[in-house]
Each structure stands twice: as structure tokens, then as C-alpha cells.
């Protein structure tokens, strides 16, 4: 005899579903924010993994190369913001240039469509801010192209052109990586006017109306003879040059034929 399936009333099923959902669903509370990352790698192999939207705050030394890695999917456009808190101005000896470079999984440097990718901080500056908006990640690309493809990307923060006594001074780097679906247009990318405006566009006039011609336009207009005159117009110096060239070519052809077919007539000595 086969056992009948266990059937529960609707009220009991709802109670079980609420119990399985956990206390978070019952209370309606939002998920906890992602913890901040306080480390950075020193090379591509030791880069610290960061998820888009996860805050990063790292304490480092001036002159260090800091590396982070993040994943990008097809159809996303990633934007990177780096803020470097500089040492006190009293302990610095000159300006320094900070650069945020982005590389793909093949270590190819990716171009930024918007934002200052490098900036020079003066000796009196307290912080420097860098931006980089990458191109939209494509699902496929030609083998010869350097289009961004889905995978792991690397962010490198470096300093250059700084005085040697400033090496080792403490700094703090705040990094924010955001991902947006679709192609993010950079600031000022709206086209206000066509790149190639129309030249002398035509206008519709009334049947009895005639356009008023300015004196400058009338004086600069070509004469009827100049309009007819062209490459194939007659008479023209080009026709005379063409006829003269044809005659010279015919004479050269006859002379060459005579020299090649009957050489003894010209060069044989008399007997």
C-alpha cells in the first residue's frame, strides 16, 4: 500500500517559508555594508582583490607601487576614483606626480575615456584626486584589437618625479571602483553642433522672388568663358601638348623599329 503525500494547510506553509527566510527577511533589515579593504599588493601577482562598490583605504609610503584587481563583465563600464592624502607640506621638498594606470588580464594598459589619469601635486597641496572611466567591456573583440574584454583588471597607483628626500613619507590612498551597465558617456561628450556643417545650403524661394546678390558675390562669380573652360575644352594648351607628344612618340617608334629590324643598313661598312 503506497503512502499518501503529506499535505499542509496554507497557513502552515506560510509559517515554514517565513522561518526559512531567516530573521533578516522577517525584520525587513537591509544587508550589512561591505567591509573596507585596508591592504594593497606590490605587484600584479599580489594585487588585492576588490569588488565594485567596496571602499578601499590603504596607508602606504611615498614611492610605493600599489596594486588592486577587480572583475569586469561584458556590458559594464567601470569608473575608478583615487584620492591620495599627502604628507604635511612642512615635511615635503617639492612637487610629485601621481598616476593611476589600469591594465587588463594580458597586462595591456587600458585607455581612459574621461578623467585626469595623472596629476601633479604641488609642495603645498594636501591631497590629489585621480579619475579614470574605462571603455565599455565587450563580449568579443578582434585578435588584433585592444578592446576591453570580460575578465580581471588591475589598478596600479604610482608616484614619479618626486624629490628623493620625500621617499618613505606616509600617505593614505582611498580607492572607489564603480560599475555601471551600459556605455557611460564622459563629461562634455554631448555634440552641440555637427562636425561638418552644411556648405551653402539651399533655400526655398517664392516663385516671383529673386535672391538679392551682394556686389562681392557678383564680382567673385566666374565668367561664362571660365565656366566652359576645362580639361577637355578646345582650344586649350593641353591639346597642343597632347598632339605634340603623340607626334614625337610616333617618330621615336619608327626610328626604333628601323634600328632594331635593319641594323646593317645603318652601321655596316661599305665593301
Per-residue pLDDT reduced to its tens digit, 130-142 = 999 999 999 988 8
Q: Which residue has the higher pLDDT, 61 or 211?
A: 61
On the question of pLDDT at 12 being above 80, the answer is no
Q: Which residues contact 161 (CB under 8 A, 6 or more apart)?
A: 95, 96, 97, 120
Residue 71: C-alpha distances to residues 48, 54, 159, 175, 193 (Å): 12, 12, 25, 15, 38
β-strand pairing of 127-134 with 112-114: antiparallel
Tell me the pLDDT tens digit for each residue of 79-103.
999 999 999 999 999 999 999 999 9
User: Once rounded to an integer, what is the mean pLDDT over residues 150-156?
Assistant: 96
Q: Which residues contact 262 (CB under 8 A, 6 or more apart)?
A: none
| Helical (H) or strand (E) element with 152 | strand 151-160
Beta-strand ranges (E) seen in 146-207 are 151-160, 170-181
On the question of pLDDT at 249 being above 90, the answer is yes
Q: How confident is the model at residue 223 (pLDDT cuts 50, 70, 90)?
A: low
Residue with cell 604610482: 158
On the question of pLDDT at 11 being above 80, the answer is no
Q: Across 182-191, 210-219, 238-247, which has the greatest mean pLDDT?
A: 238-247
pLDDT recorded at residue 43? 94
pLDDT recorded at residue 264? 61
Q: Which domains does the chain have, with CATH numbers?
A: 48-181 (2.60.120)
* Residue 38 grid coordinates: 585596508
Q: Which residue has the higher pLDDT, 28 or 238?
A: 238
3-state class (DSSP) for residue 85: strand
Q: Which residue has the higher pLDDT, 154 or 106?
A: 154
Tell me the pLDDT tens digit for each residue of 102-116.
999 989 999 998 888
Lowest-confidence region among 11-15, 143-147, 214-218: 11-15
pLDDT recorded at residue 34? 75
* Residue 126 grid coordinates: 594636501
pLDDT recorded at residue 220? 53
Residue with cell 589600469: 102
On the question of pLDDT at 152 being above 50, the answer is yes
pLDDT recorded at residue 56? 96
Kindly tell me the burial class for residue 68, based on how many C-beta atoms sit within 10 Å of its own C-beta (0-12, 13-18, 19 or more).
Answer: buried
pLDDT recorded at residue 173? 96
Q: What is the mean pLDDT of the chain?
A: 78
Closest CA to 112 of 138, 83, 133: 133
On the question of pLDDT at 231 being above 70, the answer is no
% the chain with pLDDT above 90: 47
Cα radius of gyration (the chain): 39
* Residue 69 grid coordinates: 584587481
Amino acid at each position: 500500500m503506497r503512502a499518501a503525500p503529506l499535505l499542509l494547510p496554507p497557513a502552515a506553509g506560510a509559517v515554514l517559508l517565513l522561518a526559512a527566510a531567516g530573521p533578516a527577511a522577517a525584520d525587513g533589515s537591509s544587508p550589512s555594508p561591505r567591509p573596507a579593504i585596508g591592504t594593497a599588493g606590490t605587484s600584479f601577482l599580489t594585487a588585492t582583490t576588490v569588488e565594485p562598490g567596496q571602499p578601499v583605504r590603504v596607508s602606504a609610503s611615498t614611492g610605493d607601487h600599489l596594486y588592486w584587481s577587480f572583475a569586469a563583465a561584458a556590458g559594464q563600464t567601470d569608473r575608478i576614483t583615487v584620492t591620495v592624502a599627502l604628507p604635511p607640506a612642512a615635511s615635503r621638498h617639492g612637487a610629485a606626480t601621481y598616476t593611476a594606470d589600469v591594465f587588463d588580464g594580458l597586462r595591456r594598459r587600458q585607455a581612459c575615456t574621461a578623467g585626469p589619469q595623472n596629476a601633479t601635486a604641488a609642495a603645498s597641496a594636501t591631497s590629489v584626486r585621480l579619475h579614470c572611466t574605462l571603455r565599455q567591456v565587450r563580449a568579443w573583440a578582434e585578435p588584433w584589437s585592444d578592446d576591453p574584454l570580460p575578465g580581471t583588471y588591475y589598478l596600479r597607483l604610482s608616484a614619479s618625479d618626486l624629490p628623493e628626500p620625500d621617499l618613505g613619507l606616509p600617505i593614505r590612498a582611498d580607492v572607489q571602483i564603480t560599475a555601471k551597465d551600459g556605455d557611460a558617456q564622459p563629461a562634455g561628450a554631448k555634440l552641440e553642433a555637427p562636425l561638418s556643417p552644411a556648405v551653402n545650403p539651399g533655400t526655398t524661394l517664392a516663385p516671383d522672388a529673386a535672391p538679392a546678390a551682394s556686389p562681392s558675390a557678383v564680382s567673385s562669380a566666374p565668367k561664362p568663358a571660365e565656366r566652359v573652360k576645362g580639361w577637355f575644352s578646345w582650344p586649350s594648351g593641353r591639346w597642343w601638348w597632347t598632339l605634340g607628344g603623340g607626334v614625337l612618340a610616333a617618330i621615336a617608334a619608327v626610328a626604333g623599329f628601323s634600328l632594331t629590324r635593319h641594323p646593317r643598313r645603318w652601321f655596316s661598312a661599305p665593301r
